[in-house]
Structure 1
């Protein structure tokens, strides 16, 4: 299905047209994954300049300095991808990427009025929606647009990162339900799609409000020019490409940077960041380590869990230290001790509905068991014994502790039972030569989520094994809810 904006001036085609067959093209003939790196052999044909060289030449023609990176096309498991690689050997501290401010698309460039930009993004549209609409109209200008070469590359990559998958916002609903079965990401996808639809419904309002922006486009109003489906595709592609700049005005904080993501690979552990330099008025990327020529350049994606990375960029990083799963505990209002428990919780800046984060290799959240012990107190005397100070928190009674641990184990087991695949099946999908990029990134995410849940389950089971035996008392009389 075509993605991003309109091809030429046709109202329902892709964002960018395909490159001419007479252009010189560079292909990576073989590619394999090894320790997170793509290794490939580059073979060039004999004519003209390659498509990637045209984008870099466009940068140079418009005043960009010499870059230490280049775009290489790789064929990975049958999928053709563009990636930003080192154009020469780089040392730690070298400037890998330098893009002048005038070659970066931000809201102040779109609106040329910071007040208008803030008004629209505060009351009507998100920054991403505004950038999306701007590029959709720029595409309709075809080769007359100053951004033509940049837009062409955005359409080429279609929001795909190095793993070759698009955001699940662009998957078929059946694929979302099948590949991500059991994951809380399914609910997040539905909410994000609803948000995109709400923004689509506001496009015409913004069109009339921002006359200073759209007067240069002799086209129909947005909802007449672009379908909801096309806007969704464009939005997802812009979302995968946008850079969040720090220390800049609000109108500059979301930026589309040539040679940046998604062709610039994101990493959860890299220390390199795309940053705005006030002195040179450009976005820079400083290498955080040495790179060999041809090696993919990586930048930090921020403290985002893999669910967010997959939703935004279509990638999953196996070494992500920010992965987590939410566990929410809700105290019932019908509990006769509800007010007393709330008072204790408020002293510790906790609420009667509290969310805890389960993480890989970090055990149970330190406040989870103390909170649950208090939640399951059945009388005032036991409530007095409940301590939320982690330094001195201890079981209140054998009965209370077993109630807490059994409920927690039951909840974790229920979460695990929602998945249709086992961890072993996920591993097989990841290693399969027949599985597609979407199946593989989904399997990577599910494997990590199950690892988090199984780790928590092992700790709970260990505590159960060490508990003093008591007579079974049945379900708790306090209907504390875990979700």
Structure 2
């Protein structure tokens, strides 16, 4: 009945062909949308008029809600405006039939990480998901109390606290996270929730296929691939890693190729040569506080090395680095050895901070100790993905360091020479090379043999 009401409401607004799209429970994804007719790539599936979208403008234009939220001295964020809008409609007992039909179709609960209990979340302790989820739980409480003080308590007739509870607010926030669509428009970011279109699930195997046209003021969904009758229709959220999928959408993708770990680098204002280094970072298009995504395909981006080279310059190396345009290349053997040793120490520290090591998590996932689909299983795979990336970063940093410092004595000399056979280690002279040969020869021969096979 609710689905019919939603369809009738949308069809009144000019949305066509809803009769060949049907909500369905799928074994792998839960509720989604299936097509009752064949579709070709780029066929238009849905066109939702802007007046039917949940947006900040729609909230402000509402004759009842608008005056209340406009009365607040400190304007609400986009997220909180949409949250109040959704919860306001959810609690109305009359009017807004179309929007209430949409709200009634939304899930009654979510599996995003803010709803994990302590033991479930502890499985991924040490991961970015763990720390961000802890912060989000606290932030949600603080944002809710701010709404109570600034809005709900001042308009108790519209926002009765027995209905506008912290739990309801959390539910609404997770609705926005999991169903909101973001578009970059000229001069601003545009966020909306599109009725019925928000029922489509994500697949990285289809093309990006949803757009918002500000001139026509509508949102369109296209077929991201060819579909046969009865197949589930997907959209693509983009290249989203599991830590973000679980935090915002409540699911993960096993062996997600877009997994990443956000490495945060910063330079303290009291650091030596701070002003000069800030200027050099800026000229290299880098920020003083910078976040670098480490990925499976690129576990140690060049920009991480560029940042660290600038951060750890000595006064005598400043001019050399400036000539090399922000340290895109090695500035000096000393500088390179220092940044790589610091990076190795940092990555080892991050890996040691995970509550459960990679190998143990993999064994529990593979043996079924963590049952597929459970919160613990999802948390474990997030941790697995991040630890795999950090181990690749560590391996890459060690390989680079081996090309800078003498394999025997550890000196970082400018004229260190590579091993003529494997080319994977350097020596400061023949004496160190001979001293190290007994230890190195087995590895060297293996590397040469593997190189020839490739």
TM over 0.5: yes
Structure 2 distance, partners of 1:285, 1:445, is: 30
Change (3 A) 1:54 1:462: same
Aligned match of 1:125 = 76
The DSSP-based 3-state class of the residue aligned with 1:356 is: strand
1:254-269 correspondence to structure 2 within 5 Å? 254-261=191-198, 263-268=199-204
Per-residue deviation, 1:64: 3.1
Aligned match of 1:407 = 342
Aligned match of 1:81 = 30
Q: Is the helix fraction higher in 1 or 2?
A: 2
Aligned match of 1:450 = 387
The DSSP-based 3-state class of the residue aligned with 2:262 is: strand
Structure 2, gaps ≥5 residues long: 413-454
Match of 1:359 among 295, 313, 325: 295
Moved more, 286-295 or 359-368: 359-368
Match of 2:105 among 153, 159, 182: 153
Structure 2 distance, partners of 1:59, 1:361, is: 43
Kept in 1, the 8 Å contact 2:124–2:356? The answer is no
What is the TM-score normalised by the length of structure 1? 0.70
1:79-478 correspondence to structure 2 within 5 Å? 81-112=30-61, 123-142=74-93, 145-146=96-97, 147-156=99-108, 158-159=109-110, 166-176=111-121, 178-204=122-148, 205-207=150-152, 219=157, 221-247=159-185, 253-261=190-198, 263-268=199-204, 270-277=206-213, 282-302=218-238, 304-317=240-253, 318-321=255-258, 323-330=260-267, 333=270, 335=272, 337-350=273-286, 352-378=288-314, 380-386=315-321, 388-389=324-325, 393-397=329-333, 399-428=334-363, 430=365, 432=368, 434-469=371-406, 471=409
Per-residue deviation, 1:100: 3.5
The DSSP-based 3-state class of the residue aligned with 1:297 is: strand
Change (3 A) 1:131 1:64: same
What is the TM-score normalised by the length of structure 2? 0.74
Structure 1, gaps ≥5 residues long: 1-48, 160-165, 212-217, 475-483
Kept in 1, the 8 Å contact 2:242–2:256? The answer is no
Structure 2 distance, partners of 1:246, 1:333, is: 37
Moved more, 458-467 or 112-121: 112-121
Structure 2 distance, partners of 1:219, 1:99, is: 32
Per-residue deviation, 1:267: 3.5
Aligned match of 1:66 = 17
Change (3 A) 1:52 1:403: same
Q: CA RMSD in A?
A: 3.8
Per-residue deviation, 1:391: 8.3
Structure 2 distance, partners of 1:442, 1:220, is: 39
Structure 2 distance, partners of 1:455, 1:194, is: 33
The DSSP-based 3-state class of the residue aligned with 1:285 is: strand
Per-residue deviation, 1:392: 6.4
The DSSP-based 3-state class of the residue aligned with 1:223 is: coil
Change (3 A) 1:246 1:372: closer
The DSSP-based 3-state class of the residue aligned with 1:253 is: strand
Change (3 A) 1:88 1:248: farther
Change (3 A) 1:208 1:367: same
The DSSP-based 3-state class of the residue aligned with 2:106 is: helix
Per-residue deviation, 1:354: 4.4
- Residue by residue over 1:150-203, the C-alpha shift from the partner in whole angstroms, topping out at 9 and shown as x without a partner, is 1221035x34xxxxxx11122223422x13211122222233333323332233
Change (3 A) 1:355 1:254: closer
- Residue by residue over 1:352-397, the C-alpha shift from the partner in whole angstroms, topping out at 9 and shown as x without a partner, is 554433222124221333443343344x334443455378622512
Which of structures 1 and 2 has the bigger CA Rg? 2
Kept in 2, the 8 Å contact 1:245–1:274? The answer is no
Moved more, 101-110 or 387-396: 387-396
Per-residue deviation, 1:309: 2.6
Per-residue deviation, 1:235: 1.9
